[in-house]
Structure 1
Amino acid sequence: MADVSDPAIVEAYLDVRNDKSETNFVLLDYESDRSDKLKITKTGTGGLSEFTELLDDSKASFGYVRVSYSNDKESVREKFALVVWIGPGCKVMRKAKISVHTADVKNVLRVYSIEVAAREKEDLNEDGIVTKMRKAGGASYDGV
């Protein structure tokens, strides 16, 4: 089991969800290679692009990101993505534990539109994420 008991994780999650806050992502990493305890590595306001830059190819991480997009010039939507990052250089034992740990993380980072399993940074391309969010959002009038 992953240890997600740090109250700062819940605070950061609620901050990302808060419409009055500029914070739009939180990145969680393991305390060490042998630990199953997750801690906040970074929160930020730079969106998906800043979040993606922070990912380490040798680690497994979890993220929660608010993504804003518009369907037309009159409306802006904000949706949330749970990101499960397994870098290409991540150790085998860490990879093996991720599916179980993801369930524990979902108990804390509960509300999201899509879950993104990312193995390469290209998996977090903003256009691709927005397309997935539109499809998950139900009615689509722009052919997506």
Structure 2
Amino acid sequence: MAEVSDPQISEAYLDVRNDKSETNWLLLDYESDRSDKLQLTQTGTGGLAELREILEDSKASFAYVRVAYSNDKESTREKFILVVWIGSHCKVMRKAKISVHSADVKGVLRVFSIEVAAREKDDLNEDPIIGRLRKAGGASYDGV
């Protein structure tokens, strides 16, 4: 089991979900290579592009991101995604525990439209993710 009891995690989650806050993502990393305790590493306001820049190939991490997109000229939607990052140089034992730890993380970062499994930074390109969000959102006015 992953330990996700740090109150900073819950506070950051609520901040990302807050419409009045500019914070639109949070990143959770393991306290150390041998620890199963997750801690809040960073938050930001630059969306997926900013998050992509700070992810490390040697780590497994979890991120929660608010993604804004337009369906047409008059409407904008905001949806939330859970990112499960497993870097290409992540240790084998850490990779093995991620699926079990994901359930614990989902207990804290509860509300999201889609889960994005990312192993390369290109897996976090915004256009394909917005396409998935449109499909998951139900009402689509642009034929996707």
**TM-score grouping bracket, smaller chain normalisation:** over 0.9
The CA deviation at 1:126 is 0.3
Aligned-residue sequence identity (percent) comes to 81
| Match of residue 34 from structure 1 | 34
| Match of residue 70 from structure 1 | 70
| Match of residue 60 from structure 2 | 60
Tell me the C-alpha RMSD between the 2 structures: 0.5
CA distance in 2, matches of 1:95, 1:60: 7
CA distance in 2, matches of 1:103, 1:34: 19
The CA deviation at 1:52 is 1.0
Q: Which runs of 5+ in 1 are unaligned?
A: none
CA distance in 1, matches of 2:27, 2:49: 13
The CA deviation at 1:140 is 1.5
| Match of residue 46 from structure 1 | 46
| Match of residue 88 from structure 1 | 88
Q: Which moved more, 1:132-141 or 1:100-109?
A: 132-141
- Compute the TM-score of the two structures, normalised by the length of structure 1: 0.99
- 1:24 equivalenced with 2:31 (yes/no): no
- Compute the TM-score of the two structures, normalised by the length of structure 2: 0.99
Which digits, 9 at most, give the CA deviation of each residue in 1:60-84, with x for residues without a partner?
0000000000001111100000000
The CA deviation at 1:93 is 0.1
CA distance in 1, matches of 2:142, 2:75: 14
CA distance in 1, matches of 2:41, 2:51: 11
CA distance in 2, matches of 1:18, 1:100: 28
Equivalent residue pairs, number: 144
**One-letter amino acid of the counterpart of residue 33, structure 1:** D
**One-letter amino acid of the counterpart of residue 19, structure 2:** D
Q: Which runs of 5+ in 2 are unaligned?
A: none
User: What SS is found at the alignment partner of 2:108?
Assistant: coil
The CA deviation at 1:17 is 0.1
The CA deviation at 1:38 is 0.4
Which digits, 9 at most, give the CA deviation of each residue in 1:72-120, with x for residues without a partner?
1111100000000000100000000000000000000000010000011
CA distance in 2, matches of 1:38, 1:62: 9
